[in-house]
Amino acid sequence: MKIFDHIYVMTGGGPGTSSMVMAQYAYINSFIMFKLGYGSAISVGILVLSLSLILLSRKLWGGKNNEA
């Protein structure tokens, strides 16, 4: 999720779209093809996916809170 800048600088998502990540797809739709609504929807989808993965991992592997 945090690898957008490395892939964009080194390959631009190519060859073709073989190394394109979701953030780059949102960027291309928003700022290259001027589909701002679609790019925003992709970004919200990335946010929802990230939050659900974080909450799931905290629930499964979080254990007890260690309060000092």
Q: pLDDT tens-digit profile of 14-41?
A: 898 888 999 999 999 999 999 999 999 9
Query: Is 44 exposed, middle or buried, given 0-12, 13-18 or 19+ CB atoms closer than 10 A?
Result: exposed
CA atoms within 13 A on the CB side of 27: 11
Please give the mean pLDDT across all residues of the chain.
89
Q: Which whole number is the average pLDDT over 49-60? A: 93
Residue 47 or 5, more confident: 47
Give the confidence band of 67 by pLDDT, cuts at 50, 70, 90.
low
Count, in order, helices (H) and strands (E) of the chain. Answer: 3, 0
